[in-house]
Amino acid sequence: MFQFIFKKLMLVVPTFIGITLLTFTLIRLIPGDPIEVMAGERGVSPERHAQLRAELGLDQPLLIQYKDYVVNIFHGDLGKSLITKTPVMEEFASLFPATVELATCAALFAVLVGLPAGIIAAVKRGSIFDHSVMTFSLTGYSMPIFWWALLLMLVFSVNLGWTPVSGRLDVTYWIDEVTGFMLIDTLLSGEEGAFASALHHLVLPSIVLGTIPMAVIARMTRSSMLEVLSEDYIRTARSKGMAPLRVIVVHALRNALIPVITVIGLQVGILLSGAILTETIFAWPGIGKWLIESIARRDYPVVQGGIMMVATIIIVVNLIVDILYGVVNPRIRHNK
Amino acid sequence: MALLEVNSLSVEFGDGPNPFRAVDQVSYSVEKGEVVGIVGESGSGKSVSSLSIMGLIEYPGHVKAEGLTFDGQDLLSMPVKKRRALTGADIAMIFQEPMSSLNPCYTVEFQITEALKIHQGGRKKWRRERAIELLEQVGIPDPKSRLKAYPHQLSGGMSQRVMIAMAIACDPKLLIADEPTTALDVTIQAQIVDLLLELQREKNMGLVLITNDLALVAEAADRVIVMYAGQVVETGPAEEIFSTPRHPYTQALLRSLPESSQGKERLEALPGVVPGAFDRPKGCMLAPRCPYASERCQREVPMVSGDSLRQVRCFTPLDLQGKPAA
């Protein structure tokens, strides 16, 4: 097991090198630099421009800049935002809980809806339920997130007035930040109605962000389940005279989950990248919105550091999934 | 009263006006403690008929019968729950592919004790001890350490022994073995068959042995049922079937054995294959392949004739010399 984790970790090294190279070059390929963006339409004199560039260290050759960046990473330093002058790590840490909260709720929505839908669709294959699940999930998968978000907003927030349009909490509440997770903080504050308000704000963004993962999970579960249900050991299970529900839950689902778990793990990447759009649309103060804004401001260290952190999280989650896979599937556990 | 009475059992697949009849009005019975062999080529409906007795035919399959009684109880009219209580307890089954018939995600202990838990309950410790006892009975060395093994750690023969342990866990009155040795090595085959017969004698179980291995049937079975294209074509005591087959199909099966082709260059074979869903003949199912088929065989479907001991489905059953009756 130890060896297995070590091997996986070694594979991560080239990935990280790739990430630093890509973010470093791509952000610099966008025309304009941070100073021009800050100056805006007023413009800035060439002398002042050069002076500021030197102050920010942008006058150095690219290779030197890259070397400084990588060396700093090894010291655990992701640099400071060019605009706010606060360390990237600090900004990330303060915004990250909001994204985690949203992504977790979206993942819960995706699993809690997608998994049962896929199972029932497989067990009742060919039924109206099966066909509707497949149609909905195909639609959900192919629909652009921003359009789907606007559609839901229009119906549920504007026309029906069931949910708020944006933000994390009604402005009438002021909550001290303890954990950064609004659901927990509102509970801790003891303020009446605050928790309900936080929950209300979460519903639409979670559904929007969770739609694609839900569709993927539902389809994957269905096909995996169908395959398993035709296996010989399912016939053996039925020949023992157990109730159909036990056959499905104990004997089929456990086997069907093996590929589904991998897919759920892969969805974490989609959740974090999807968060960029969803957070922007719902004005959700998380990592996604932060990254988009820093790209617009050419805030090089924030973009580089932020993406590095997001990539780290995705890699860690996938590592956990790999380990989990071994827990569910004895054949893998024993081969290690 | 027989342990299992099958009266005119049919299994059809598909809806619509022309469903495919995989099993066509099959009737037979199994007495307590009797070994009945069911033989026939692939596709002759052997497995499907026994799966229907277990209640394991799923949509789009439909099971029909004039009577299907086990131990005096009508299986088809009883409530589903009561039927499930019998399945796996009083009637048990083992299958052709032992390696894929065990669930890869669970230990041997889990899979053996599961049947006990469902049908007999009891404490966990008792079930565990019973599982060790069962593994010992089926000849698995060091059963205690095998409890925690997963199916992928077992060989084919071991897997089949575990399957047998699972099937006999609740002391069934009837055990259906569907080609239990087909997927195994020849040396292991003999061991598994010996084990099955030993357990059968010990527990005085009824045993239905489905196989296409005629030598196995000759050695093990009291009575033999020969099936072809979903129909029973001949039944009778094992020795009689082998010494004086009365149906041309049985005769052809026996002639295709290597033993009956000694001194010849090629084994004898029956030309053609079992008719499938779309090419079933109008008259006798065997007519297109039968060396003795007359014009009547092409037109009309022969009925089963004979007494309860020896039955044959042919217009011109063979005589003692193996020639068709005039």
Three-state SS string over chain A comes to CHHHHHHHHHHHHHHHHHHHHHHHHHHHHCCCCHHHHHHHHHCCCHHHHHHHHHHHCCCCCHHHHHHHHHHHHHCCCCCECCCCCCEHHHHHHHHHHHHHHHHHHHHHHHHHHHHHHHHHHHHCCCCHHHHHHHHHHHHHHHCCHHHHHHHHHHHHHHHCCCCCCCCCCCCCCCCCCCCCCHHHHHHHHCCCCHHHHHHHHHHHHHHHHHHHHHHHHHHHHHHHHHHHHCCHHHHHHHHCCCCHHHHHHHHHHHHHHHHHHHHHHHHHHHHHHHHHHHHHHCCCCCHHHHHHHHHHCCCHHHHHHHHHHHHHHHHHHHHHHHHHHHHHCHHHHHHC
Domain spans of chain B? 4-313
CB count within 10 Å of CB B228 equals: 28
Nearest-angstrom CA–CA distance, A118 and A213:
13
The answer regarding whether domain B4-313 maps to CATH 3.40.50.300 reads yes
Mean pLDDT of all residues in B263-269: 81
User: What does the longest C-alpha to C-alpha distance in chain B come to?
Assistant: 67
List C-alpha distances in Å: A323 to A260, A333, B150, B241: 14, 9, 19, 59
Which residue does chain B place closest to A254, by CA atoms? B105
pLDDT below 70 — which residues of chain A?
Answer: 1, 332-336
**pTM for the whole structure:** 0.80
Instruction: Give Cα B217 to chain centroid, integer Å.
Output: 11
Interface list for chain B against chain A, based on CB atoms closer than 8 Å: 54, 56, 84-89, 92-93, 95, 97, 100-106, 114-115, 118-119, 150, 152-153, 163, 166
pLDDT band at B113 (very low <50, low <70, confident <90, very high): very high
Whether B263 shows a pLDDT value over 90: the answer reads no
Residues of chain A with CATH 1.10.3720.10: 96-144+209-335
CA distance A1 to chain B (A): 19
Query: What residues contact residue B295 under an 8 Å CB cut-off, 6+ apart?
Result: none
Which residues on B lie below 8 Å from A241 (Cβ)? Answer: 84-89, 115, 118-119
Put simply, the answer to whether A242 touches B114 (Cβ < 8 Å) is yes
pLDDT above 90: percentage of residues in chain B? 35
Put simply, the answer to whether A239 touches B54 (Cβ < 8 Å) is yes
pLDDT of residue B11: 92
Range in B44-48, B200-204, B256-260 the model is least confident about: B256-260
pLDDT, tens digit, 9 for 90 and up, residues B175-191: 999 988 888 888 888 88
3-state DSSP assignment of residue B235: strand
pLDDT of residue B102: 93
- The C-alpha angle A151, A152, A155, rounded to 5 degrees, equals 90
CATH of domain A96-144+209-335: 1.10.3720.10
Query: What residues contact residue B32 under an 8 Å CB cut-off, 6+ apart?
Result: B2, B3, B173, B204, B206
Put simply, the answer to whether A239 touches B89 (Cβ < 8 Å) is no
Nearest-angstrom CA–CA distance, B206 and A65:
84
pLDDT band at B201 (very low <50, low <70, confident <90, very high): very high
pLDDT of residue B326: 62
- The pair of three-digit structure tokens given for residue A268, joined into one six-digit string: 């974490």
